[in-house]
Chain A
Amino acid sequence: MTEPSVEIKQSENKEWEPKIIAFLCNWCSYAGADLAGVSRIQYPPNIRIVRVPCSGRINAYFIIKSLTDGWDGVLVSGCHPGDCHYISGNLVARRRFAILKELLEFFGIEPGRVNFMWASAAEGERFAVLVRKATEIVKKLGPNTKFEKKW
């Protein structure tokens, strides 16, 4: 009758890995991520990709809700300025990101948790390099605890 007591314990010496939610635009960055995969370029497995129609679709709600929901970092990627499928979506988004980043800094929340980048569909290599960089930045900051609710 006694159930075998299985202790599930994460091994102590295993390094902590951040979880990063990545919003990629359908036309450039998502294809760029695809290219990185097809070309067998290694990039950290920490990112979980959400495909959005355009970086202009990304509301500050998405980013802040991700942080409150416990993601350690947020990465947003879109087409290079001037290459947007919808002509100017990423340019309007850029102003929004600039304000958000400065506001996070003002509030004392590490601005490094939220990262923005441009990557085109032909830049698989660049995509991998920047994801690696973003992961490193978030890893240095440690787990996201500022939005944890204390009971």
Chain B
Amino acid sequence: MGLETEIKDIETNLREIAKGLLKEKKVDVIIGYMEGTLPMLSQPIIIDNEEDVDKLLWNNLCYVNLAKYLVPRVPRFVDPEKGNLKVGVVSKGCVGRALIHLASENKINLDEITIIGIPCNGVVNRQRIEMEIGEKEILEVSVLGNNVIVKGKDFEKEFPFDEYMNDLCKGCKIRKPPLISKYPDLCVGECEEYSSIVDEFTDIEEYDSKTPEEKWKYITDALSVCTRCYACREACPMCYCNLCFVDQNKPIWFGKTTDLPDVIVYHLIRAMHMAGRCVACGACSLVCPMGIDLNKINRKLEKIVKERFGFTSGLDPDAKPPMVDFKMEDAEEFMLEED
């Protein structure tokens, strides 16, 4: 079974489930993906009646993390009379994780949402394809067999999907939204119960073996192109602060220029804030107009949190997030000690 038929199956299932939910009035609105206005993109859509169900779409270009629209709720999700509407969220693994993690931070009430689980097989790394095609305009993108086919005015190119998948998706262990036994009505569609995730961080271990100079060079090369457009912040479901630290001007914590030190500080602090919260959806890297690979930083954080605190984000809505929690026996090998 090729990727093409797999996607079609998922899509028909998704539409059926969505139709059923709206018919039985189990949800008031559904947020999902629809065809984007540009060939390589998909965009979110909010539907509230059965006729629109056919607009829902699932393919390997649906990279937006829809949890972003729940915190804070977009106006369409709030009724002036009824208050918060019940929202069905079309969820791949990472969207489900984000919703559950946001619930553990008391940002989402799980009674007010329904997770429509779909098994995700990874999203295409848009930037890599765009970079290979270069200046030419892409007019049509389709999936045939296991290949992504990109068509333009006078060219047609095939990209093997396995190779042009987003790096994070290659090693993804949570492809379906997590099933929470305490909330049996939360998930419809395909969900899975996860007990323990075995994740190998070979990519990060390889990076860690570099010398400090090599690391500094890698980071400065990667981040020097950053224009601080904050697309990564806007796409991230975990960035919901009313006032972001970079926008604060009393006190002005960090410079607002795109000079290297300021850029590095921005990414350093952003990483600090993501510790134990990142759900590895990769949205930040995929929206980056400069193609900066932020996945590496996020993977490192996942590794630190997993090794030090034994925590994986987004699997348990009742767990305390690791950065507001502590254990008496936490490792402190980095503290200064008398000889």
Give A residues with C-beta under 8 Å from B: 60-61, 64-65, 68, 81-82, 88, 91-92, 94-111, 115-118, 126, 129-130, 133-134, 146-150
Contacts and interface: CB of A to CB of B under 8 A. Distances in A.
Contact of A117 (B304, B322, B330, B335): B335
Contacts of A82: 328
Contact of B323 (A96, A104, A115, A133): A96
A110 B212 CA distance: 7
16 contacts: A61-B254, A64-B265, A65-B253, A92-B323, A94-B326, A97-B334, A98-B332, A102-B300, A104-B268, A106-B208, A107-B268, A117-B336, A130-B338, A133-B336, A147-B261, A147-B264
Given A92-B324, A108-B217, A146-B216, A98 B330 contact: yes
B261 A146 contact: yes
Contacts of B336: 115-117, 130, 133-134
A116 B334 contact: yes
B76 interface: no
B164 interface: no
Nearest to B248: A61
A148 B291 CA distance: 25
Interface residues of B, number: 49
A117 B297 CA distance: 26
B197 to A, nearest CB: 20
B275 interface: yes
Contacts of B259: 149-150
Nearest to A110: B212
B269 A61 contact: yes
B269 A108 contact: no
Contacts of A149: 255, 257, 259-261
Nearest to B207: A106
Contacts of A94: 326, 330, 332
A133 B257 CA distance: 36
A92 B321 CA distance: 12
Contacts of B308: 95, 98
Given A81-B328, A82-B328, A102-B304, A107 B216 contact: yes
Contact of A98 (B255, B300, B334): B334
B269 A95 contact: no
A98 B328 CA distance: 14
Nearest to A133: B336
Contacts of A109: 212, 216
A110 B211 CA distance: 11
Interface string B284-327: 00000000000001001100110011000000000000111111
B240 interface: no
User: Would you list the 8 A-B pairs with minimal beta carbon distance, nearest first?
Assistant: A108-B216, A108-B215, A91-B326, A117-B336, A147-B261, A99-B275, A60-B272, A101-B334
B214 to A, nearest CB: 7
B323 A103 contact: no
Contacts of A99: 272, 275, 301, 304-305, 323
A91 B327 CA distance: 7
Nearest to A116: B335
B219 A107 contact: yes
Interface in B229-279: 245, 253-255, 257, 259-262, 264-265, 268-269, 271-272, 275
B331 interface: yes
B277 to A, nearest CB: 11
